Amino acid sequence: MRLKKVFSLGISVILLICTLVAVEFAIGWHQVIKQFGVMTLQDFLYLMCLMLFTASVRTARVMVSLRIYRNIPALFHVCNTHNLFNNLLPMRTGELAFPILMHRHFRESIARSAVHLLQYRLLDLLALMCTAAIILANNYSYTLVALIILIALTLLITAPLIRQFAIYMLSILERRFNNISKITHAFRQLPLQGRVFWCGVLLTFLQWAGKLAAFMYLVEILSPLPPDIIILAIVGADLSSVLPIHGIAGSGTFEAGFLLASYHSEVETATLLEAGVQLHIFLLVSAIAMTCLSKAIMFIHALVARRQKHHNALNL
């Protein structure tokens, strides 16, 4: 197990070093950073508002799914901290932050939070699949696009049946591993139909709409890429986030997804790589900014609550 961790970390470090060197030789880091100078303050504030909207919708999805309607500033902080760790830590280890933070702040079961997180990731994947299908409609058969969307809808409608199959498989494993009984129980409680489930689906698509709008706006400002190539490359970069091989801060895998999704275009590889790196930098900066903002909001909320409690005690 220890050898496996060392191997995974080694791959992440190699991806990071290779990305840094490749960008320096192909474009030059000075050129990558210099291009951000064309952004105005209005552009930056607009992008931050879109990312704040995305972070708020992401928090609302967790709130509705787990039915947490108390201490929303803390929940907002948990979601943004998890997002930051997920972007920075290698090999998807950042996902572990969500159940740990939910247990620390809301006493939620680790198993329940982990199962809900799995649901969020599957919904994210479906949202990206549908987005990619809509984009491909301009270049490929509408039948293929309709088929992809039909598959996504079928998976959503038959989610309760898929859960029953998962519970059945887990019940078989329970005969050998008693410690997974909590996971089985969490699957049984998972909302996969009704208002809560479909509200979560809607919030997922709304979250991705805000995120893709921000990413597309940024790339349009910084690069000469056409809109259809931009959105397809962005979807490819985001799809790379579901891979188990994930470099430190997503280095290498994010850019590879950006390039591979637009390989069929006639745009030069250096131009695509530059846009991908700039988008990646913005992603990391915005994640850090949202986490700092959520920490400040949680601190102010706690301070106001403490003063209110003190004021009420004086009035008694």
* Per-residue pLDDT at 194: 83
Confidence of residue 6 (pLDDT cuts 50, 70, 90): low
Residues 6+ apart with CB under 8 A from 78: 62, 98, 101, 102, 105, 106
Residues 6+ apart with CB under 8 A from 193: 159, 160
Separation of alpha carbons 248 and 93, rounded Å: 10
Calculate the average pLDDT of the chain.
86
Q: What is the pTM of this model?
A: 0.88
- Read off the amino acid at residue 277: V
Q: What is the pLDDT of residues 78-128, one digit of tens each?
A: 999 999 999 888 777 888 999 999 999 999 999 999 999 999 998 998 898
* Per-residue pLDDT at 140: 63
- Of the chain, the percentage scoring pLDDT greater than 90 comes to 39
Query: Where on the phi/psi map is residue 71: left (φ > 0), alpha (ψ -120 to 50), or beta?
Result: left
Confidence of residue 72 (pLDDT cuts 50, 70, 90): very high
Long-range contacts, 240-246 (Cβ 8 Å, 24+):
241/86, 242/121, 242/124, 242/125, 244/91, 244/92, 245/11, 245/15, 245/91, 246/12, 246/90, 246/91, 246/92
In the three-class reduction of DSSP (H, G, I as helix; E, B as strand; rest coil), residue 69 is classed as coil
* Per-residue pLDDT at 17: 80
* Per-residue pLDDT at 241: 72
